[in-house]
Amino acid sequence: MAGELILIVEDNERNRKLVRDVLQFKGYRTIEVETGEESLRLARDRRPNLILMDIRLPGINGIEALKRLRADPATRAIPVMAMTASIMTAGPEEMRAAGFDGYQSKPLQVKAFVAAVEELLEKGQGTRRTTT
Ligand code: MN
């Protein structure tokens, strides 16, 4: 199903363009912000179907932004996928422990990235596994 709204949170212009181009080619609608703080506001206003979250951001980082999204009833059910540079020590386990619904390392592998996006959108809002 195409047409879902995806919020891209990424401060790097090139990465943002790559993600935007791939998603729009696949028929998704995208909105973009460069900081975690802005992502909170836009997530509340637009209620995207999925959020793609860079970790290293100016201001609050992606993990803190995720915490705040989860703390807000208006945004807590939105699936959030982390996008981290592979050079970082944090891998899939750390990202899942932090509460992310998915994880992709940068540089993004386009096929795997698209598959991960589709999977999270299929799971959809409200069916996110609650962590105990
Ligand atoms: Mn970054």
pLDDT at 87: 63
For the segment 8-29, what is each residue's pLDDT rounded down to a tens digit?
999 999 999 999 999 999 999 9
Rounded to the nearest angstrom, the distance between the alpha carbon of 107 and the centre of ligand 1 is 12
How confident is the model over 75-113, as pLDDT tens digits? 999 999 999 886 666 788 888 899 999 999 999 999 999
Query: Ligand 1 centre and the CA of 130: distance in Å?
Result: 27
The pLDDT value recorded for residue 89 is 67
Distance from the alpha carbon of residue 131 to the mean position of ligand 1, in angstroms:
26
- Short-list 22, 23, 89, CA closest to 56: 89
What pLDDT, on a 0 to 100 scale, did the predictor assign at position 1? Answer: 58
Calculate the alpha carbon distances from 82 to 1, 32, 79, 127 in Å: 22, 15, 10, 18
Q: Which residues contact 89 (CB under 8 A, 6 or more apart)?
A: none
Q: Is the pLDDT score of 132 beyond 80?
A: no
Average pLDDT for the chain: 91
Say yes or no to pLDDT of 55 above 90: yes
